[in-house]
């Protein structure tokens, strides 16, 4: 195999490769989540950087924008209230004017956002996928109105509790895999599954969010774009970005990410980590991880077996979402 150069850029944890080697687009907002509550905002943030009412009459006719929940390079997430119902939502306001980025990024952001809208509309009403309630486009901004997940990101929840019991992990993973199975049944690949892109509602039910890197696969189509978050990238994503004459990747990359997430939930640390990023990427390509920390002493062999069948370097040997849901780990009665 001939190694080729790949420009790996990182923005807020996520990475993507741009053809001209310039800065990446599709950055996460507020630590990745677009619709989770990330903490209280200052009162003076409510009116700062808001598009004028003349520029977004349709949005302002239906919603009152409130405090900031998160910020990205070209987008801001705010709480908002629907005027007719008084119900709270989260609105992601995306700047496509090119004033904060270059024209290439602005056009790419617009294309990515339109693709994200179309994918979310394919997933309407699935209980484990974030609901897109409304969308508006102006010449300079796109407004995406989502359900508001007041419990925030799974990442923040995990930070508070450090590790999850197998019972709680089973619940979260079953909900996640149900969503992934649904996406794959529609030929949708998420490509950036991670705890920061999973939100929790008031009842701690899981919601998959942030479809900025998601795409719909055509028949027999293989993908070659380098995008995602380093610690969750599947080996085949790295391989296709580094070598010529290797096959592209498909929906199996999401199953690898599910394995990384499950491992992290159970022990509070990711399976692939090194202070030197290139060393970490080598660990991923070799499938080099261990159940070595003391946290694993009390974890059942059944849970470890499931993880080992997801973190398989060869995507052809990796379990599908349906196969994973039928694994003995999910048959245990509490």
* Active site amino acids: 192
Task: Round to whole Å and give the CA distance between 68 and 313.
Answer: 41
- Angle among Cα 60, 26, 181 to the nearest 5 degrees reads 95
Residue 201's CB: how many other CB atoms inside 10 A? 16
Compute, in degrees rounded to 10, the torsion defined by CA atoms 177, 179, 184, 186.
160
Residues making up the binding site: 92
Sheet strands (E) in the chain: 9-11, 14-16, 63-71, 75-82, 88-95, 132-137, 141-147, 188-189, 198-200, 206-208, 215-216, 227-228
Q: Which two tokens stand for residue 41?
A: 């905002």
Task: Round to whole Å and give the CA distance between 14 and 25.
Answer: 10
Residues making up the binding site for ATP: 92
Distance from CA of residue 59 to its chain's centroid? Answer: 26
Q: Residue 162 in contact with residue 268, Cβ under 8 Å?
A: yes
Burial class (CB in 10 A: 0-12, 13-18, 19+), 295: middle
Task: Round to whole Å and give the CA distance between 104 and 292.
Answer: 45
């Amino acid at each position: 195999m001939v190694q080729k150069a790949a420009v790996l850029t990182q923005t807020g944890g996520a990475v993507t490769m741009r053809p001209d080697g310039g800065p990446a687009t599709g950055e996460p907002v507020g630590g990745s989540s677009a619709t989770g509550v990330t903490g209280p905002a200052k009162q003076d943030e409510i009116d700062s950087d808001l598009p004028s009412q003349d520029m977004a009459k349709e949005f302002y006719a239906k919603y009152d924008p409130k405090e900031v929940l998160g910020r990205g390079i070209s987008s801001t997430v705010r709480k908002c209230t629907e005027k007719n119902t008084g119900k709270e939502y989260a609105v992601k306001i995306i700047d496509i004017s090119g004033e904060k980025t270059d024209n290439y990024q602005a056009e790419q952001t617009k294309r990515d956002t339109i693709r994200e809208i179309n994918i979310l509309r394919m997933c309407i009403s699935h209980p484990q996928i974030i609901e897109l309630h409304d969308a508006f486009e102006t010449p300079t901004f796109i407004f995406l109105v989502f359900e508001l997940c007041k419990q925030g990101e799974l990442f923040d929840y995990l930070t508070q509790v450090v590790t999850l019991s197998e019972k709680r992990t089973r619940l979260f993973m079953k909900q996640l895999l149900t969503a992934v199975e649904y996406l794959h049944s529609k030929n949708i690949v998420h490509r950036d599954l991670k705890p920061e892109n999973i939100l929790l509602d008031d009842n701690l039910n899981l919601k998959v969010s942030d479809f900025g890197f998601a795409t719909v696969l055509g028949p027999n189509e293989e993908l070659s774009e380098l995008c995602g978050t380093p610690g969750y990238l599947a080996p085949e994503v790295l391989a296709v970005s580094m070598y010529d004459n290797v096959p592209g990747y498909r929906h199996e990359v999401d199953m690898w990410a599910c394995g990384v997430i499950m491992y992290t939930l159970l022990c509070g640390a990711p399976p692939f980590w090194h202070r030197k990023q290139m060393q970490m990427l080598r660990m991923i390509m070799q499938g080099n991880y261990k159940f070595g920390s003391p946290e694993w002493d009390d974890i059942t062999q059944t849970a470890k077996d499931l993880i080992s069948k997801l973190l398989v370097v060869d995507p052809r040997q990796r379990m599908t979402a349906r196969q994973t849901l039928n694994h003995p780990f999910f048959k245990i009665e509490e």
